[in-house]
Amino acid sequence: MLPPGAPERWPGVHESAVVLPVTEKLFVDVTYDTDRGYVGRVPDHPPVVALSLGGIRRKIEIAMLPDDVVVMLKLDRAARLERDRRRLTGRPRSGFAGTSA
């Protein structure tokens, strides 16, 4: 879908390649609490709690919906350590096509 006011066709540009400019960046301070998970804090809003960083990002994007914002997560030391621990340990990969690997 083309943005409002755009010409019907732009020479050399495919419709899916049209990118709208981002109007605002929202910086979210994130910490990790062992009882609640990741906790994101945005000024003038209640804290957002989620089990993953992606969950925090999605919840904040939904809360800011009519606005087009880019959510920038600023992780403190506890959040960085938990993110790195999850990356290193991770879930074991499942076997291929039902085989027991």
Residue 42 CB neighbours (<10 A): 16
Query: What is the per-residue pLDDT for 32?
Result: 95
Domain ranges of the chain: 20-84
Residues 6+ apart with CB under 8 A from 68: 20, 22, 23, 24
- Full-model pTM: 0.63
**For the purposes of burial, counting CB atoms within 10 Å of the CB of 78, is it exposed (0-12), middle (13-18) or buried (19 or more)?**
middle
pLDDT at 101 over 90: no
Q: Average pLDDT in the 19-42 region?
A: 84
User: What's the pLDDT tens digit per position in 50-97?
Assistant: 999 999 999 988 888 777 788 899 999 999 999 999 888 866 655 555
- Which CATH fold topology does 20-84 show? Double Stranded RNA Binding Domain (3.30.160)
